[in-house]
Amino acid sequence: MNPGPDLTPYQMIGGEQQLRSLVDMFYDLMDTVPEYYVIRKLHPQDLASSRDKLYMFLSGWLGGPPLYVEKYGHPMLRARHLPFAIGNAERDAWMACMAQAMQSRVADEKLREWLLAQLFKTADWMRNREG
């Protein structure tokens, strides 16, 4: 895995349509799989805004268009998530949900592994409580 300016993870995933599909699968799973209730309960009933924000964030984070920054400014992820109690269970559920979504939406195994390793760093940093 050597993403860079000539080939970004955004391009490697398949661009806008494939990223949107990944985000939609992530939230569909979160909304229906009981094991992900621990993170589902942290979201509003209507997931449309959450879907859009994650899609926009991941677009820029993966080297595609910086949609989130253009609309909302710097993500300030940790600060924006401080109102929610996020511990190991929430981190692990988020990661498991994303891994499951990627399994069906990101064909390249090495790309999936690399993305999950990068996302874990961010998810772990989001923890704001013990346990």
Residue 2 scores a pLDDT above 70: no
pLDDT band at 25 (very low <50, low <70, confident <90, very high): very high
> How big is the chain, counted in residues?
131
What integer is the mean pLDDT of 9-37? Answer: 97
Residue 3 scores a pLDDT above 90: no
Task: Give me the DSSP letters along 21-90.
Answer: HHHHHHHHHHHH-GGGHHHHTTS-SS-HHHHHHHHHHHHHHTTS--HHHHHHSS--HHHHHTTS---HHH
3-state secondary structure 13-25: HCHHHHHHHHHHH
Residue 6 scores a pLDDT above 90: no
Reported as a single tens digit per residue, the pLDDT across 32-67 is 999 999 999 999 999 999 999 999 999 999 999 999
End-to-end CA distance of the chain: 33
The CATH classification number of 14-125 equals: 1.10.490.10
Q: What is the pLDDT of residue 56?
A: 98
Residue 131 scores a pLDDT above 90: no
CB atoms within 10 A of CB 22: 21
Q: What is the pLDDT of residue 22?
A: 98
Q: What is the pLDDT of residue 130?
A: 87
What integer is the mean pLDDT of 21-40? Answer: 98
Reported as a single tens digit per residue, the pLDDT across 89-120 is 999 999 999 999 999 999 999 999 999 999 99
**Domain residues of the chain, as ranges?**
14-125
Bigger pLDDT: 120 vs 7? 120
